[in-house]
Chain A
Amino acid sequence: MSAFPNTSTVQTQSVPTWRQKDAKPFVQIEQITKQFGQFTAVNSVSLDIYRNELFCLLGGSGSGKSTLLRMLAGFEEPTSGRILIDGVDMTGIPPWERPVNMMFQSYALFPHLSVEANVAFGLKREGLKSAEVNKRVAEILGMVQLGHLAKRKPHMLSGGQRQRVALARSLVKRPKLLLLDEPLGALDKKLREETQFELMRLQDELGITFIVVTHDQEEAMTLATRIGVMNNGDIVQTAEPHEVYEYPQNRFVAEFIGNVNLFDGTVMDEERDSTTIRSSDIDGLLKVDHGISGAPNQNVSVAIRPEKIRISREPIDLAVNATTGVISDVAYMGSQSIFKVRLNSGKEIRITQPNVSREMGNRLTWEDRVFLSWGADSCVVLVA
């Protein structure tokens, strides 16, 4: 198992497919809605996913991400809208005829069949000759390093081994599209990290398009070429991982991915490349290096990530993008420290600082009066 992913074909291309204007999407989800009785699980979602992508659907429980995945696999029929895979309309096509395989969250290994027979199951349904079946089963089991356990039954395997059997079983048919439902959910932290890189390696080697459903934002950030953040049946933002983190489109995304400090205020002045906002939360004005398309005096929030705030005991100019406060809590985490600072307005914000030196002597501590500042390029205005 290699510790690092090979440079993927996607990453070495100068422009990723999803940014090319005329690129043809591989999976087209068009206005999909799914209702269970009165409850709308997926609400008119449209999404294009391109060949060789590792697309993550990220959201909390009940956000509709699993329902969307089940509609791709064919276990649920959409109430309205349609799905095209490689240009073919999937409406009315049963799961056993779709060019799609799925890795289940529970793994769903057949308990009465050996590892080998589990993996061979899909190939036998294609009517392949047994020599060919055996060859491909051996090949894929070698790839996930389980060749020596081929004769075992699933209940004799560890969680990590079962996960790899499930992966092998879903890959062995060489589907055009692989769906993974919380693939790493049941693994411990160390195994998760290894498997993340393993998944990326396999995806790259086999050239299969992956759609991964997860509630774990770290997993999505590491794995994905793009992330679709879901909330209450809607996709609230689709973007590359760094965009989702650095340029969240709304409060939900900003708060769901990582930690964030939000200042509420009203727009005072707006130009094409800057916006000035007055907020009662802080002492100075807020200045952001991008315009927003909204009315003056509009109520907005400004989001600043905890690691983008400078913290110091030295007094600074408080006119723009700065404020003062008192440290109310400190957590030493080894590589970094987390400070909670109570501002004059009573609002408490969060700041993380890397522990660049081992020196403990001059460290910031409880009840210190501190000055906080940040750049105009570190914050984002959220209208919604």
Chain B
Amino acid sequence: MKQGSSVALKVMAGAGFVFLYAPIIALIVYSFNESKLVTVWGGWSLKWYVELFRNEQIMSAAWVSLKIAFISATLASVLGTLAGFVLSRMRKFAGKAMLTGWVTAPLVMPEVITGLSLLLLFVSLENMFGWPAGRGVTTIVIAHTTFCLAYVAVVVQSRLASLDETLEEAAMDLGAKPISLFFLITLPLIAPAIISGWLLSFTLSLDDLVIASFVSGPGNSTLPMVIFSKVRLGVTPEVNALATLMIVTVSIAVIAAIVIMHRQNRFKDTNK
């Protein structure tokens, strides 16, 4: 009976993983396809990767995307850390729960709504103050920072909540003023959370299509936007190669985030 159920469990788990990853594996395999036709196997080849790096439109979009992802992840990390710090360290006050809700709302807000409302904001700001002039990298960075901030805030807040407060008391007791306390004790201890928040933000920004479509301007297409517009004209093996590279990038970032979060647990038990 026990044997049977464990076999059934394995089958179910296998089916789940196939469902999740078969499309991605197919995509990766076909990115090495010699044939020009996406659905016909013509033997192994790297020629679409070579082709990809020669494609200026794709390369420039990739550069724009990486730049945006880097800047917005960094901004989101700084602002998100501050937000997480406030949320976990402020004493209870009226409206604290509401504030927490507001910070994390972008996590569940439909992207279409976020994108649309940001677009409206940017347009009316431009009409009133003349800034931001037009839409492009700046507006995308601002938009991505807003929703990535929420992720960082949540990760940092939960790390701070599990942090032994006597560590900070000990530092104060030994003569550390609040500023040096933050930079010498608190920051190093929550650094893993901030780094993994940064990596998550980076991948979220790199992946985003919907919000970027709303707030980008002409000549500033991000990589997902270029892929999407290309695919509408039919899937090319080149896009498979590009998608494979993106999967690799994102996987590395996510795995790194998980490893970093995991390693911090080792520290946690030191004073128990």
Contacts and interface: CB of A to CB of B under 8 A. Distances in A.
A104 B266 CA distance: 21
Nearest to A73: B173
B169 interface: yes
A111 B271 contact: yes
A75 B177 CA distance: 13
Nearest to B264: A111
A104 B166 contact: yes
Contacts of B176: 96, 121, 125
B54 interface: no
B189 A112 contact: yes
B269 A104 contact: no
A1 B219 CA distance: 76
Interface string A163-192: 000000110010000000000000000000
Contacts of A374: none
Given A75-B169, A112-B188, A106 B175 contact: no
Nearest to A126: B175
Contacts of A100: 173
A27 B108 CA distance: 56
B270 interface: yes
B160 to A, nearest CB: 15
A94 interface: yes
Contacts of B175: 96, 122, 125-126, 173
| Size bin of chain A's contact surface | 20 to 34
A115 interface: no
Given A104-B169, A106-B164, A122 B270 contact: no
Contacts of A169: 170, 174
Contact of B270 (A95, A96, A155, A170): A155
Contacts, number: 75
Contacts of B271: 106-109, 111, 154
Nearest to A155: B270
Interface string B181-224: 00011001100000000000000000000000000000000000
B180 interface: yes
For the residues of B in contact with A, the DSSP-based class is helix
Given A125-B176, A155-B266, A110 B272 contact: no
A187 to B, nearest CB: 15
Contact of B173 (A95, A106, A107, A126): A95
B267 A108 contact: no
A115 to B, nearest CB: 12
A29 interface: no
Interface of A: 73-75, 94-96, 100-102, 104, 106-112, 121-122, 125-126, 154-155, 169-170, 173
Given A101-B173, A107-B271, 19 more contacts: A74-B173, A95-B172, A96-B175, A101-B174, A104-B169, A106-B164, A106-B271, A108-B167, A108-B170, A109-B270, A110-B171, A111-B270, A111-B271, A112-B188, A121-B171, A122-B174, A126-B175, A155-B266, A173-B175
| Nearest 5 pairs of A and B residues by beta carbon | A122-B174, A125-B175, A108-B170, A111-B267, A108-B166
Interface of B: 164, 166-167, 169-177, 180, 184-185, 188-189, 266-272
24 contacts: A73-B173, A74-B173, A75-B172, A96-B174, A102-B169, A102-B170, A104-B166, A106-B164, A106-B271, A106-B272, A108-B166, A108-B167, A108-B169, A109-B270, A111-B270, A111-B271, A112-B267, A121-B171, A121-B174, A122-B174, A122-B175, A154-B271, A155-B266, A173-B175
